[in-house]
Amino acid sequence: MAKITLSLEPRKITGKKVKTLRKQGIIPANIFGNKVKSTAVQVRGTVFRPVYEHAGETQVVYIKVEGETEERPVMFTNVQKDPITDEVIHIDLRQVNLKEKITANVPVEIIGESPAVSDFQASLITTLDEIEVEALPADLPENITVDVSSLRNIGDVIKVSDLKLDRTKIEVLDDPDAVVISVAQQQKEEVIPVEPVVTEIIGEAPAEGGEVKTEESKKEEAPAKAPAKAPVK
């Protein structure tokens, strides 16, 4: 695997004032690690983005801070993004010891086509999209590929124990029996029939060309009764 490098500058602006850096297209960052003094640095977004797209959060990146003589092996972690623009607004750089094992969450990448999907119109359900592993920084895989072409029937599953990894270099920390991907039958939407609303009209059937006489209209057409005469004394 080719060596990934990135150049950064020391950062003097801290706190709320870092907003001025972001307006200039500069991302504030911090280097931290075991027995490592926290260092404030910065990098231009145009320089950082292609490196991050290539390395992700599982590959070692060798950074060179302006003014320092030696490179630092780091891994990107806690990459914060603006919820509206999706632009990166802060980066944490975790400095690692290449001779010490670390834990990391490696993303799952699905490859192939499941016969159960094409033959039975089933659905693939991904339960785990990341796998927690422990390994030397240089041995961490970029992703863990899962071939779903073995899923032929509804109910078939791929477990953590089925994942193809170099177990001599990588220790999987997730439960071996945990399901990574499963096949399930698609749920059909229940259609509830709507019954038509019938309004009942009470009254006599109209003559041809006539109108319906309802009980209410009959009351309206009936002549008013004459008031009763007072009795003669």
CB 157, CB 181: distance < 8 Å = yes
| Mean pLDDT split into 10-residue runs, the chain, 233 residues | 92 95 97 95 97 95 97 96 95 97 96 94 95 96 95 96 95 97 82 68 53 52 55 51
pLDDT in the model for residue 26: 98
The verdict on domain 103-184 having CATH code 2.170.120.20 is yes
Residue 19: how many CB atoms within 10 A of its CB? 11
Domain ranges of the chain: 4-96, 103-184
| Amino acid letter, 133 | V
CATH topology of domain 4-96: Ribosomal Protein L25; Chain P (2.40.240)
pLDDT in the model for residue 210: 52
Nearest to 127 by CA among 182, 185, 165: 182
Contacts of 174 (CB under 8 A, 6+ apart): 128, 131, 132, 160
Rg (CA), the chain: 36
- Please name the helix (run of DSSP H) or strand (run of DSSP E) that holds residue 133, with its range, or none: strand 130-135
Model pTM score:
0.74
